[in-house]
Structure 1
Amino acid sequence: MEQLSIARIKEELSQACGLSSERKHALENDPRKGVRRLIRLWEERQFRDQRLIEKFNEMNRLESDLRSIGIDNIAGIDEAGRGPLAGPVVAACVILKPAVVLPGINDSKQLSAAKRNTFFDKIRESAVSIGIGIVSAHEIDEINIYQAAKRAMMLAVGQMDVRPGHLLIDAMELPLDLAQTSLIKGDARSNSIAAASIIAKVTRDRIMDELDDVYPGYGFSGHKGYGTKEHLQAIERLGPCPEHRMTFAPLKR
């Protein structure tokens, strides 16, 4: 039998989800160091992928328990943008399809921007319904950030095409006629909330990118409105813009 090149074996392993015991044994005992290295890397990747699937299943426990008692359309809710000095607070409400599996999904703060953007697209493709709520910096100054985050969440629920059967909310209770569960650190305990945190974060980041064009000089596309040294220096130099939260320190001084 003709011996496959290392390049062909690399291509084979990049596409393989599983190998027969005979094939795996042959690769592990191939006289070429390059082949043995490829099979080790493949096994490590398989182990990491399996751990991600196990974590996904663990974070799906709440949703599975609710479905087991006949509850459908379970929605996760989370927000992004409580801490920045500028820009809106954005909330998302997401109902994932029951059969969807998204290994590696997690609290948006634990993911790189590239991974958040990848998951953003995957979530949009695999969601039953998504709602977005946006509350402006001006409204935040009027009602405070806690109430603004709550309002954004309620707006997100109101944007849903499908009525949720149960709400899983990250550390918040909403005055809505819907069954709900508030979870501390919910974005690390529920896939639905994690999905909502990613949708909210990416949506807000893109808003801040747009505001960088409207109000140049503040660097909104880089720091997204947070109180970085660059941002504080820009405020000293330019003064606040209409997107700044004037009730937040140091702006209120």
Structure 2
Amino acid sequence: MFEIERRLYDEGHRFVACIDEVGRGCLFGDVVACAIILPQRYTIDGVRDSKKLSPSKREKLNGYILHDSIAVGLGRITPAVIDRVNIKEATRLAMKQALDNLTDKDGKRIIPSYVLIDAERIQTDIPQLGVIDGDNIVHGISAASIVAKVFRDSLCISWDKAYSGYDIAGNKGYGTAKHIQALLEIGPAELHRKSFISKIMEGKK
């Protein structure tokens, strides 16, 4: 799981940033990305792709990651932008935003010398590598996926209070049967991705 990172450290890179996103397939809410720099050759037991962890385990690991990381940055792209540019481009924008927002615990911006990204490439002058299945084979990308997931889940709880009826706190914006039924019964909310729900809403006519 650490081969790529170790090779980069052996080549002399001091700060290697790892980036992942969550919420790409949701019907509701922002797509969120996290960029993170962990100490060299540092590992956290239990870190893996956030989708393979229970909510309580993610929360616990999130605390360790944020405490021990050198720098963390988050990026968010709204449904309106997703609808305008498409989800793939929006994901890249969120990842770039997260990279640009990398700061240490004192609020100082940290610029890495290399970037590892889960299966994507972004617009940056920093050398980068898109790693297929990166959230499973790169420790730092797994850590980024956990931080992004915990952050977005907290947004879902807030969104659920503001946009009741869709069970966003429970389904996290994904297209569950209950969520789709609510769409058909009460219609879309402001934060629904119109480009994602168009076929669902066509079935209402």
* TM-score of the aligned structures, taking structure 1 as reference length: 0.75
Separation in 2 of the partners of 1:235 and 1:158? Answer: 36
Separation in 2 of the partners of 1:114 and 1:159? Answer: 27
Matches for 1:161-240 after TM superposition, within 5 Å: 161-240=109-188
Give the counterpart letter for 1:125 in structure 2: H
Alignment-derived partner of residue 106 in structure 2: none
Give the counterpart letter for 1:69 in structure 2: E
Separation in 2 of the partners of 1:221 and 1:144? Answer: 24
Alignment-derived partner of residue 124 in structure 1: 66
Kept after mapping to 2: 8 A contact 1:165/1:179: yes
SS of the residue 2:196 aligns to: coil
Alignment-derived partner of residue 38 in structure 1: none
**Distance apart, 1:97 and its partner CA:** 1.2
**Distance apart, 1:100 and its partner CA:** 2.8
Separation in 1 of the partners of 2:71 and 2:26? Answer: 28
Kept after mapping to 1: 8 A contact 2:180/2:200: no
Separation in 2 of the partners of 1:228 and 1:112? Answer: 19
Counterpart selection for 2:77 from 123, 132, 135:
135
Matches for 1:14-163 after TM superposition, within 5 Å: 59-160=1-102, 161-163=109-111
Kept after mapping to 2: 8 A contact 1:245/1:251: no
Separation in 2 of the partners of 1:201 and 1:122? Answer: 15
**Distance apart, 1:62 and its partner CA:** 1.2
Identity of paired residues, percent? Answer: 38
Kept after mapping to 2: 8 A contact 1:140/1:148: yes
Give the counterpart letter for 1:183 in structure 2: V
- Greater length-normalized contact order (CA 8 Å, ≥ 6 residues apart): 2
Kept after mapping to 1: 8 A contact 2:22/2:31: yes
User: Mind listing any 5+ residue stretches in structure 2 that lack a counterpart?
Assistant: 103-108
Provide, for residues 9-46 of structure 1, a one-character-per-residue CA deviation record: whole Å limited to 9, x for no partner.
xxxxxxxxxxxxxxxxxxxxxxxxxxxxxxxxxxxxxx
Separation in 2 of the partners of 1:248 and 1:217? Answer: 19
Give the counterpart letter for 1:130 in structure 2: V
Provide, for residues 143-179 of structure 1, a one-character-per-residue CA deviation record: whole Å limited to 9, x for no partner.
1000000000000011012101110000001120001
Higher helix share: 1
- Structure 1's consecutive aligned runs of 4 or more residues displaced over 6 angstroms after TM superposition are none
Aligned length: 195
SS of the residue 1:230 aligns to: helix
* TM-score of the aligned structures, taking structure 2 as reference length: 0.92
**Distance apart, 1:252 and its partner CA:** 5.7
User: Mind listing any 5+ residue stretches in structure 1 that lack a counterpart?
Assistant: 1-58
SS of the residue 2:195 aligns to: coil
**Distance apart, 1:99 and its partner CA:** 4.8
SS of the residue 2:61 aligns to: helix
